[in-house]
Structure 1
């Protein structure tokens, strides 16, 4: 172990000692952790989790119940508990080599299945970390264009608002360096989601007297798998967890932090899903604020959700940038403080430029993102963490009930992967056939 590693050697977090010690013979108190000298609290990490996971999922879950019926609540509960478990074991994998903390999802895959496994995981990881911000800035552009209708700003147009949204994301993305430094944004972002949830809840309850002949289904079997994949996607935070945990002063708090973050998101999901579907039934829309009466409440909800996606996007791209910067060894020790900032800023500007180009010009991006998102999200949230965890820490040292739980999680992930991809492919085909029928070029 090097002198630098010893400087930050604080032992393995208590929650991970059992799995590691059962597979490796070494002094766990000499485990080389990363430098946490300027790390933040578990409370700040909690806000990072809530801000990344909540939001668009909160607004789409009533529609998911419309797709699958009331049985979707059971899937929502399973996805919540399963994602807490995989969030915990994914971080355990960072410590599983028994020598030092590895830094990223890609390195976990490399440790498990070599370079090929690492690059496959990195591709999925990058698609989510870049693709979700693209969708966020496109949503922001559309919302801003909608809010500017019948005003002098209407001439700006959705595309230009998307570019403006990218600039707004770029500013904090370049100025902040780590996940700890975006935590204050996460706290505000989490607050905006909570306010939107409360607005939707109150407005929907007020509007209930106007809803007649509302229809509900206990289960819709032919749409159930699609609803399953939609609900499963709502807990997708694994892509940022390694960097969020790295921003914590006390990593042993991680299991509590991820459980609290996921539970907060689940509470908001239930607060919108149940009343949204109960009040509007099979007429509910996605996002849910399109179902509530037009007026001040709806406008405030749209404004706050626009703010939320603009806050969430820097968190996701910061996680991606940190992985890239580590791979490229962009550090103050190597380049000096000024040159490191310039190189890091140029890299992050390039990332935002790519996001802006994709958001403005790639045809059918929403459905293309849904296709690879179904594949990548289910793999990264449910399938990969189980496979990597069992590979790195062993199978025989696990109780049978835990192995059965792992099997159930993988099954849920595979079903969501297959049917979510199937749905997205059908949507892509529909887009292509529509454009052909209209005699226009793809995506025009």
Structure 2
């Protein structure tokens, strides 16, 4: 017979017991009948799953091994909206184990429930009930597409800042991130209706865990886990800022003497191309049907590999050469390296969607292993080759160091410019959709309101990028504060909370120790 929860946690310190007891009480109060009513409004954000599916789904009718995904991005924008999850929070995601489940509780998805507030009409229509028709190969491509991003460009710079031994951290973070992906899988398997990251937050901490209201916090190991959805959207916003900085840096490297005087303001090449890039990207943000951009952005895996090949080509064929240099370990700048490596493995916000879309979810473990293994290998090769080629002069994006007279260098730079043009709208869309949900019902169907929200978001990213145009530091900051929270801390906290009565005591101690250590590093004091 499995021991009860008190026996499991009696061996832990008193503070942990108090935290756990407080969490239990808070969650029970959230799930009590008095907290909900038949007129309760839909949980926010309702658009999370559909927007994450746009970011991750690989679907192309032109390739046989990629065909057959019924939940393709094009159909995402054409099907009639259908509720995919219970619109109220009256019932917990994880049913009480002491109570006998009714027959309806064994279904895969919770039945829709009427609400006095009608579902908002979003810019991208709601997904139909999830059909698990994503094959193993498609799931692997989805995972690789999520992980292999712009973090690759900064890996040689990470070695420069942290030294050669910092590559051990690259491998270590890959292993830990893969393990926390497995923890998310076990959380998804713990109850019916769990499909996305916010669903896991709701299952662990009730309403507050899903809504992510920062002023109404649930504390566990000194971490504000209630802000998980907000952290997810902040990560996407920061990535959008990174895209603008990346485009500006690479374009200004081609045209360093480009300047402009406008209304008494002098714009240097970086500022000029950042504003120009924003104006080019802006029409893509207004699109309601993002299927075309999603098909193009799926080529991100191919594009990333091509950039790596261009780097190797310049080093070997164009005879730039490889020159051993650098220090073994630099503790002073190691924090920058940690942030960049953490950014390279930031894909956990999408992994629950990939798992839920698979025909055979039991193979998700191998999807994680292959995806993280490929990402680690590619990042390691680029980091080593890039630093050997350019040494201590390597910049935050190695494409800025590549000699412009070579064709491979030009191709790499232009590929680096094209990536943000195809991914910016897809990255900012989840934030825009969540904000549209908060608008009054009469304005949710207005295309003008949608354009205003998306334009405002885009301009705000431009302002942030102009104010802080440092690609490497921005990536390190995002990796330390956001990516590590989503990839390392939140999965452990939710896993401990949802399955706290079923976890061996040794695992509990290890996870709690790791959580405290990471939390003290991220949030000192």
TM-score, normalising length: structure 2: 0.62
Contact 1:44 1:187 in 2 (8 A): no
Instruction: Find the counterpart in structure 2 of residue 387 from structure 1.
Output: 493
* 1:40-439 pair list within 5 angstroms: 41=134, 46-90=140-184, 92-93=186-187, 96=190, 98-101=191-194, 103-105=196-198, 108=201, 111-112=204-205, 114=208, 115=213, 116-117=216-217, 120-149=227-256, 157-175=269-287, 183-206=294-317, 214-242=324-352, 248=357, 250=359, 252=361, 254-296=364-406, 297-325=408-436, 339=445, 344-360=450-466, 362=467, 371=477, 374-394=480-500, 396-399=501-504, 402-403=507-508, 406-407=511-512, 410=515, 413-414=518-519, 417=522
Whose radius of gyration is greater, 1 or 2? Answer: 2
Q: Determine the C-alpha separation between the residues in 2 that align with 1:259 and 1:341.
A: 42
* SS across alignment from 1:71: helix
In structure 1, list runs of 5 or more residues that go unmatched. 10-16, 423-444
Tell me the secondary structure at the aligned position of residue 236 of structure 1. coil
The aligned residue for residue 109 of structure 2 is: 32
Q: CA deviation at 1:86?
A: 2.1
Partners of 2:469 and 2:428 in 1: CA distance: 22
C-alpha distance after superposition, 1:133-173 (max 9, x if no partner) = 01211221232233245689999944343234334444444
* Rounded Cα–Cα distance in structure 2 between residues aligned with 1:377 and 1:23: 37
Contact 2:165 2:328 in 1 (8 A): yes
Contact 2:158 2:340 in 1 (8 A): yes
- CA displacement 1:315-346 (0-9 Å, x = unmatched): 3223333444556698xxx999xx37665454
Note closer, same or farther for the CA distance 1:166–1:401 as it changes in structure 2 (3 Å cut): farther
For residues 24 and 349 of structure 1, what CA distance do their matches in structure 2 show? Answer: 50
Equivalent position of 2:34 in the other structure: none
State the 1:385 CA deviation: 1.5
For each residue in 1:180-200, what CA deviation from the matched residue of structure 2 results, as whole angstroms up to 9, or x when unmatched?
775423322221111001111
Greater Cα offset, 157-166 or 377-386: 157-166
Q: Which range moved further: 72-81 or 148-157?
A: 148-157
Number of corresponding residues: 399
- Deviations 1:387-443, CA, capped at 9 Å, x for gaps: 12211222x41245644663575367447636xx99xxxxxxxxxxxxxxxxxxxxx
Quick check: 1:6–1:30 contact (8 Å CA) kept in 2?
no
Judge conservation of contact 1:225–1:416 (CA < 8 Å) in 2.
no
Q: Which has the higher helix share?
A: 1
Distance 1:163 1:286, change over 3 A: closer
Q: Deviations over 1:256-280 (max 9, x none)?
A: 4444333332221022122233455
Contact 1:52 1:312 in 2 (8 A): no
Change beyond 3 A, Cα 1:215–1:320: same
SS state of the match for residue 32, structure 1? Answer: coil
What 5-or-longer segments of structure 2 have no aligned partner? 1-37, 39-80, 86-92, 111-126, 218-224, 262-266
| Conserved 8 A contact 1:201-1:271 | no
* Structure 2 Cα separation of the partners of residues 202 and 211 of structure 1: 12
